[in-house]
Amino acid sequence: MPELKTGARLKSTVCDGEIMVVTTPGGDIDLTCGGAPMVDAGADADRVDINPDHAVGIVIGKRYINEAESLEVLCVKAGEGSLAVDGNLLLQKDTKKLPKTD
Amino acid sequence: MNIMMLLEMTSGAFPDRPAFTDGSSGASLTYAQLFEAAKSRAATVRASEAQRLVKLDVSNLGTPISLFTSAWAGVPYVPLNYRLTDEEIEALLQRVTPAYLVTEEKRIPRLGALPDVAPIHTGAFVDDASHADSLEDTWSMDPEEVAVLLFTSGTTGVPKAAVLRHKHLVSYILTSVEFASADDNEAALVCVPPYHIAGIAAILSSVYSGRHVVQLPNFSAEAWIDLARSHEISTAFVVPTMLARIVDALEGETSADMSHLRSLSYGGGKMPLSVIERAMKLFPDTDFSNAYGLTETSSTIAVLGPDEHREAEAASDENIRRRLVSVGQALPGVEIEIRDDEGRVLGPGERGEIYVRGEQVSGEYEGRGSVTDADGWFPTRDAGSMDTEGYLFLEGRADDVIVRGGENLSPGEIEDVLLTHPTVLDAAVVGVPDEQWGEGVAAAVVPRKGAAIDVAELQAYVNEHMRSSRVPQLMEVWDELPYNETGKLLRRVVKAKLAEAVVS
């Protein structure tokens, strides 16, 4: 269970999914994708089987938060696995549509 | 966190989409080409052992390549103002060595002779053939790394280098832009200078939304209109003086069709009400947004959106109608407060200094650290007020306040009244030396086309609307006011000229 740092990039071990940590409550966090722990994006890791209950997928450019909104991640590569912390699935964050300003 | 990641995402999603087109040469890059260009130039920059990548040139394909190359190589990107004198440029350049310098060919003999400067001309930098290797390492994801050093235009003293870290820029983009939100036929026309924060924000916002950017290196209303039409531009950002010129040029045409222009945003200075009203009539189908931001806040912190423009324009309630000259409300994740000289937070309608806080706010200068307070609030040095709904009104720089006989007068407040007079197109109010009061109120006013300004009558008009202390004791009629290229009124120039008139 690696300590999550803001800005860190992690990859899934069940699919091509990758995320970046936007906000973290600090300390060790059990972040999984498709039911399997996520690993540092630069690390070598074997593919493992996806947990079918964690297989809705993640969408590039979408942000995901936990219930308490203390953890926020950005999906930077899409995948078939769903994100979860301590077994609880993360929620997709709604973004307010803003006018283009630059 | 790294701005390279924003480009990686878009390049992965839309590799063959046009990313940047140089409006003057017509040369173009797709998103995949931009990504690969950054990768190979990052190897070149690493090999040079430079600690900064400096770009000294007009907007061209070398601009986005430089920005992303810097991010990949892990050195700050430093765009310099090419309008400065050679001496000023050399002084700034020597503050950022060892530097890899991307510049015009004609500057290389002189600047390349400086110590620790490795120059390359923009053409060679953009040419793939000049870069044999690609960087195998990926970029750093450390959010604290410095992405950009921007020299602020500081009106007095030595220019300060504002420090923007990857965390500030990425945070700004993630909260204000939706990934891949641009349709494949959308194009943005970018005419702000590359060394201005608006130029950097334009690159990052467009890249993250997957939009095609058409660059206009040297602004003229005619060139802007030509490019807007030939590329069927859908979105653009202009400063107030640019919009005034575009409106002037289009009003002379029989058909001012610009129906492909879906959104037009403006900022960088105070927009005269008459200009925005004329623009809204010329482009009835265009969404207007007014953005307010600073270098130190990674660009925009407050926006007046399209619906608010229409609502304000149609309103009969004066309190809603005047929102048309506001800069709107704070962006999500940004907090704004108005404070007095003692730091007390002021209520609605009260004028004071604008303070801002949020993830995108840096407030840091190289060699001086951060000027934010213990709670993260950055003093903007801009004066303003907020109404009951949080709409922010700018009142000029905090330093521009006129102190007349112990009373603080806001130039913006007096300018607003002058601008409501039917003969006045533009107005600047400044303090001038006064034996009796310490400072007196002086104004330079510009007449509307075909109108003549009667100074005595205009003074009487101000007196009808404001206390007599605010009536300009000196008023001159000018053909135009001095603005810099990003639309900021050069108040010190007005002040110097009017102060001379007082003496003589």
Specify if A99 maps to a domain: no
Q: How far apart are the C-alpha atoms of B270 and B242, rounded to whole Å?
A: 12
Residues of B in contact with A74 (CB under 8 A): 174
Q: SS3 for B413?
A: helix
- B143 in contact with A, Cβ within 8 Å: yes
Note the pLDDT of residue B153. Answer: 67
Buried b (16+ CB within 10 A) or exposed e, B262-271: bbbbbbbbbb
* Residue B63, CA distances (Å) to B44, B152, B207, B486, B501 in order: 16, 19, 13, 18, 44
Residues of A in contact with B2 (CB under 8 A): 7
* Residue A65, CA distances (Å) to A6, A25, A83 in order: 14, 11, 9
Q: How far apart are the C-alpha atoms of B363 and B442, rounded to whole Å?
A: 33
Distance, CA of B151 to chain centre:
13
Residue A7: closest C-alpha in chain B: B1
Distance, CA of B478 to chain centre:
26
Tell me which residue of B320, B327, B321 sits closest to B304, measured CA to CA: B327
Specify if A100 maps to a domain: no
Containing H/E element for B168?
helix B166-176
pLDDT in tens, chain B (504 residues): 999 999 999 999 999 999 999 999 999 999 999 999 999 999 999 999 999 999 999 999 999 999 999 999 999 999 999 988 899 999 999 999 999 999 999 999 999 999 999 999 999 999 988 888 888 889 999 999 999 999 986 555 678 899 999 999 999 999 999 999 999 999 999 999 999 999 999 999 999 999 999 999 999 999 999 999 999 999 999 988 899 889 988 887 766 688 899 999 998 877 777 788 889 989 999 999 999 999 999 999 999 999 999 999 889 998 898 898 899 999 999 999 999 988 899 999 998 999 999 999 999 999 888 899 999 999 998 999 999 999 999 887 777 888 888 787 888 889 989 988 999 989 999 999 888 888 899 999 999 888 999 999 999 999 999 889 999 999 999 999 998 777 778 888 999 999 998 877
Q: Which of B9, B299, B306 is facing A61, going by the closest CB pair?
A: B9
Residue B320 backbone zone (phi > 0: left; psi -120 to 50: alpha; other: beta): alpha
Q: SS3 for A16?
A: coil
* Beta carbons of B305 and A99 less than 8 Å apart: yes
Distance, CA of B380 to chain centre:
14
Tell me which residue of A83, A88, A38 sits closest to A59, measured CA to CA: A83
Q: In which domain, by residue range, is A83 found?
A: 9-92
Q: Pull the structure tokens for residue B299.
A: 């660009």
Number of domains in chain A: 1
What domains can be seen in chain B, in order of their start residue? 3-218 (3.40.50.12780), 333-398 (2.30.38.10), 401-503 (3.30.300.30)
ipTM higher than threshold 0.85:
yes
DSSP B312-327: HHH--SHHHHGGGGS-
Q: Which of B143, B289, B332 is facing A6, going by the closest CB pair?
A: B143
Specify if A3 maps to a domain: no
What would you report as the CA-atom Rg of chain A, rounded to the nearest whole angstrom?
A: 13
Residue B197: closest C-alpha in chain A: A102
Query: Angle at the Cα of A31 (from A25 to A34), degrees rounded to 5?
Result: 150
Residues in chain B: 504
Q: How far apart are the C-alpha atoms of B382 and B60, rounded to whole Å?
A: 32
Specify if A68 maps to a domain: yes
Q: How far apart are the C-alpha atoms of B63 and B206, rounded to whole Å?
A: 14
* Beta carbons of B287 and A99 less than 8 Å apart: yes
Residue A76: closest C-alpha in chain B: B9
Distance from CA of B461 to the nearest CA of A (A): 36
Q: Pull the structure tokens for residue B334.
A: 């940004």
- Residue identified by tokens 């045409």 is B253
Note the pLDDT of residue B274. Answer: 79
DSSP B437-472: TEEEEEEEEEEPTT----HHHHHHHHHHHS-GGGS-
Residues in chain A: 102
- Residue identified by tokens 């050679």 is B86
Q: How far apart are the C-alpha atoms of B278 and B326, rounded to whole Å?
A: 17
* Beta carbons of B141 and A9 less than 8 Å apart: yes
Q: Which of B141, B177, B263 is facing A7, going by the closest CB pair?
A: B141
Residue A3 backbone zone (phi > 0: left; psi -120 to 50: alpha; other: beta): beta
The answer to whether B361 and B162 have CB atoms below 8 angstroms apart is no
Q: SS3 for B476?
A: strand
For residue A1, pLDDT beyond 70: no
Q: Pull the structure tokens for residue B377.
A: 């609030």
* Residue B47, CA distances (Å) to B37, B105, B221 in order: 16, 21, 42
Q: SS3 for B273?
A: helix
Residue B190: closest C-alpha in chain A: A102
Model confidence pLDDT, tens digit, residues A42-52: 888 899 999 99
Specify if A51 maps to a domain: yes
Specify if A2 maps to a domain: no
Alpha helices in B210-272 (DSSP H): 221-230, 240-251
* Residue B218, CA distances (Å) to A91, B58, B64, B429 in order: 46, 8, 17, 30
Other Cβ atoms within 10 Å of B59 Cβ, number: 27
Q: Which of B141, B143, B289 is facing A100, going by the closest CB pair?
A: B289
Specify if A75 maps to a domain: yes
Residues of B in contact with A8 (CB under 8 A): 141
- A94 in contact with B, Cβ within 8 Å: no
Residue B145: closest C-alpha in chain A: A7
Specify if A102 maps to a domain: no
